[in-house]
Amino acid sequence: MKNFTIRQARSDEVDVICTFDRPAREDDRRRAFIERSVRAGNCFIAERQNQIVGYGVMDYSFYEQGFVSMLYVGPEFRRQGAGSVLMQHFESICQTEKLFTSTNLSNLPMQSLLAKLRYTLSGVIHDLAKDDPELVYVKYLRRGMA
């Protein structure tokens, strides 16, 4: 889809990811999260023509279910399919029957992406970000589920 390649991030790419991810340049906690995720093998990057255009992190820390805790696509590459390809990759490797993710109420592009990929709203968490509730989404990956 749109010539994106998805692969596991390598430890020598943390600096590249952090340079690419503007919030990581400004927040040491975000950089530490990226470092931990790469080290654990949970971070995947989307590339096009050997250029990193986005990355995502999936693990099983959310009630032992697959959970995409990060999906970031560079502003200049958004709405070109990289986010969809990353999410579809996570769906293909997820080891649980359901895959969860979340986004802020204010993040309309992510909500649109999730709707397009047939995720459904599962719940709302208040008080994580001031005046911007976190919306939790789920997708059932195996037949016979709800």
pLDDT digits (tens, 9 = 90+) for 1-12: 468 999 999 999
pLDDT digits (tens, 9 = 90+) for 75-93: 888 889 999 999 999 999 9
CA 26 to chain centroid: 19
For residues 86 and 49, the model is more confident at 86
Please count the other Cβ atoms lying within 10 Å of the Cβ belonging to residue 25. Answer: 11
Give the pLDDT confidence score for residue 1 in this predicted structure.
Answer: 45
The domains of the chain, with CATH numbers, are: 5-140 (3.40.630.30)
pLDDT for position 58: 98
Q: What is the rounded CA–CA span in Å between residue 109 and residue 114?
A: 9
Q: What is the mean pLDDT of the chain?
A: 92
For the entire predicted model, the pTM comes to 0.90
Question: What is the distance between the alpha carbons of residues 94 and 11, in angstroms, rounded to a whole number?
Answer: 22
